[in-house]
Amino acid sequence: MAETAPAPKNILRGHKAQVHVAAFIRENERLVTGDAEGYVVLWDLAIMRPTAVWRAHEKAILGIQGWGQDKVITHGRDHRLIVWKLAAEDEQGLSTALPVEDVPIPRKQPWLLHLLKVNTLNFCSFAACAREDAQGGCDLGASSDILVAVPNTLVSEAVDIYTLPSQSRIHTIKPGSENGMAMSLRLLHHAGCLTLLAGFENGYASVHRLDTAGVWVMTYRSQAHSQPILSLDVHPSREHFLTSSADSILAKHPIPAARQTVSVAVNTGQRTAEATPSGGNSVGSLLSDALKTSAGSAGFRPSGGLEEWKHPLKTVNTKHSGQQSLRIRSDGKIFATAGWDHNIRVYSCKTLKELAVLQWHKTGSYAVALADVGPSGSDQPSAVAAKQVVQRASTATSSSQAATTSLAGGASAGSLGVKDRRVRQAKMAHWIAAGAKDGKVSLWDVY
**Chain segment 301-333, per-residue pLDDT in tens:** 333 333 446 789 999 999 999 999 999 999 999
3-state SS, 288-310, equals HHHHHHHHHCCCCCCCCCEECEC
CB 291 within 8 A of CB 306: no
The yes-or-no verdict on residue 201 having pLDDT over 80 is yes
Q: What distance in Å separates the CA atoms of residue 143 and residue 162, rounded to the nearest whole number?
A: 15
What is the spatial distance between Cα 7 and Cα 389, in angstroms, rounded to a whole number?
10
* 41: helix, strand or coil: strand
Neighbour count for residue 262 (Cβ, 10 Å): 18
Q: What is the pLDDT of residue 421?
A: 83
> Which of 5-19, 179-193, 223-237, 299-313 is predicted with the least confidence, judged by mean pLDDT?
299-313
pLDDT at 385: 43
Instruction: Give the model's pLDDT for residue 406.
Output: 39
Name the burial class of residue 83, with classes exposed (0-12), middle (13-18) and buried (19+) by CB atoms within 10 angstroms of its CB: buried
Residue 427 C-beta-side C-alpha neighbours within 13 Å: 12
Q: What is the pLDDT of residue 3?
A: 57
In tens, the pLDDT along 258-276 reads 766 444 333 333 333 333 3
Q: What band does 141 get if pLDDT is binned at 50, 70 and 90?
A: confident
Asked if residue 401 has pLDDT above 80, the reply is no
Residues 94-127 pLDDT 10s: 999 999 998 888 899 999 999 999 988 778 999 9
With pLDDT > 70 as the criterion, what percentage of the chain qualifies? 77
pLDDT of 284: 35
Residue 153 is predicted with a pLDDT of 83
The model's confidence at residue 389, banded by pLDDT at 50, 70 and 90, is very low
Q: How confident is the model at residue 378 (pLDDT cuts 50, 70, 90)?
A: very low
pLDDT at 135 > cutoff 60: no
Q: Reply yes or no on whether the pLDDT at 200 is more than 90.
A: yes
User: Would you say 9 and 438 are in contact if contact means Cβ atoms under 8 Å apart?
Assistant: no
Dihedral, 137, 142, 144, 150 alpha carbons, nearest 10: 40
Q: How confident is the model at residue 375 (pLDDT cuts 50, 70, 90)?
A: confident
Backbone angles phi, psi at 114, to 5 degrees: -140, 150
Q: What is the pLDDT of residue 203?
A: 95
**Where residue 179 falls among pLDDT bands split at 50, 70, 90?**
confident
Domains of the chain: 1-121+368-375+418-446 (no CATH), 122-260+306-317 (2.130.10.10)
Q: What is the mean pLDDT of the chain?
A: 82
Q: Is the pLDDT of residue 391 over 70?
A: no
pLDDT at 275: 35
Comparison of pLDDT for 255 and 379, the residue scoring more = 255
Tell me the mean pLDDT in the region 245-256: 96
Tens-place pLDDT, residues 329-369: 999 999 999 999 999 999 999 999 999 999 999 999 999 99
Over range 396-425, report the average pLDDT. Answer: 55
